[in-house]
Structure 1
Amino acid sequence: MPSPILRRALTEPGLRPLPERAARLLEDLDAPPRLAAHLRAVHDVAAELVGWAREHHPGLAVDAEAVLFGAATHDIGKALHPAELSGPGAEHERAGHALLRERGVEERLARFARTHASWDEPGIGIDDLLVSLADAIWKGERLSELEQRLVEVLAAASGRAEWEEFMDLDDACDRIAAGADRRLAFQSAYPVAGGTESTA
């Protein structure tokens, strides 16, 4: 049974709720409340990015379900490596992917647990780039190389000049990053461990 604090992190108003399947996985794992809050923040941004992509690139083949589920579970491996919630580490990436696959999540949805930090590798597509971008700008972080890679993909798909795509994406990122303080406050309101409330 999930802790009451975890349940609150999954249901408190302020950010979009996670996809039901992702929320159930976190409950089954009795995941750290801060992890659930972080996943909601990144998922919320991913939903904004998917909406932006649909509006500005209606012909672009974005798998919205995959992007949203990927954002909602990209760090799920931190339930197994909780030290990586408050410190560096990449063990959660492989562990999260394995965990999702063991629980029957298809590769199309599970892959983001291992690709969200590998956006500069060959074969990374638009869906993976959107999850990686959401994982950066939820806290106001701008990664110029990641954004440039996305610009290149958008320009190739649209036939527009890269500078035009850059201007549109830059505006969207500025707008989304402006909400970083609110999302950071939401995340920090929840403890890393499930037993006590955070005073941060």
Structure 2
Amino acid sequence: MTSVLLRRALADPDSAISRSLPEQVEVLLESLDTPPRLGAHLRAVHDVARQLADWVAQHHPGVRFDRPAMLFGAATHDIGKIIHPDELSGPGSAHEQAGYELLLSRGFDEGSARFARTHGSWTTVDIGVDDLLVALADKIWKAKRVPALEQSVVQLLVAAGGREPWQVFMALDDELDRIAADADRRLAFQARYPVVAE
């Protein structure tokens, strides 16, 4: 039975989060009896990821990434916390591999499931812009700035677009400041929902 609070977290029209999750993700979360707090968190990060994807598409049209896969990844990146609920309110990375395996077991392909595994390990060599944008969304939604992650994004944008690194850095910094300005509203939205399912 789907939690009333989870449904509210996924559809609240009065929230700081303007966009809904993809329908397939909502169905998945409801079928897994997802804790409402996790549903709210995934919605917040997905909303920020969409803003980042829009910004990249507008300011760096030469950058190629799989937008639908990236948005799916943002919407499911922490799904492994269903299996490791202690990581909903505390540190831990066991949810990353668990989420990846959970998505694979539910029929999602590796290209979609990988974000559950890569969002916390963005320093590996084979990480693409899709993965970096999900990792960045997972930080900036709460106004957390991670210079090394941001520099990795800048390097990929520079390589794809030919602009000077300082120009790309300044423009990205401005966009991240704009997104971070709403962090308190997103945090308050997430905090309205309990960590445990009803």
TM-score, structure 1 length as denominator?
A: 0.96
Matched residue count: 195
Residue 106 of structure 1 and its aligned partner are, at CA, apart by 0.9
Q: CA RMSD in A?
A: 0.7
1:121 has 2:124 as partner: yes
Other-structure match for 2:8: 8
SS at match of 1:6: helix
2:154 to 151, 167, 176: 151
Deviation digits for residues 17-74 of structure 1 (CA, Å, limit 9, x no counterpart): 0011111110000100000000000000000000001100112102110111000000
Q: Report matched runs for 1:1-200 at 5 Å.
A: 1-13=1-13, 14=15, 15=17, 16-195=19-198
Structure 1 residue runs of 4+, over 2 Å off? Answer: none
Distance in 1, Cα, partners of 2:12 & 2:65: 28
Distance in 2, Cα, partners of 1:101 & 1:75: 14
Query: Which runs of 5 or more residues in structure 2 are unaligned?
Result: none
Identity %: 62
TM-score, structure 2 length as denominator?
A: 0.97
Other-structure match for 1:198: none
Distance in 2, Cα, partners of 1:114 & 1:28: 21
Distance in 1, Cα, partners of 2:136 & 2:88: 19
Deviation digits for residues 66-119 of structure 1 (CA, Å, limit 9, x no counterpart): 111000000000011111000111110000000000000111111000000011
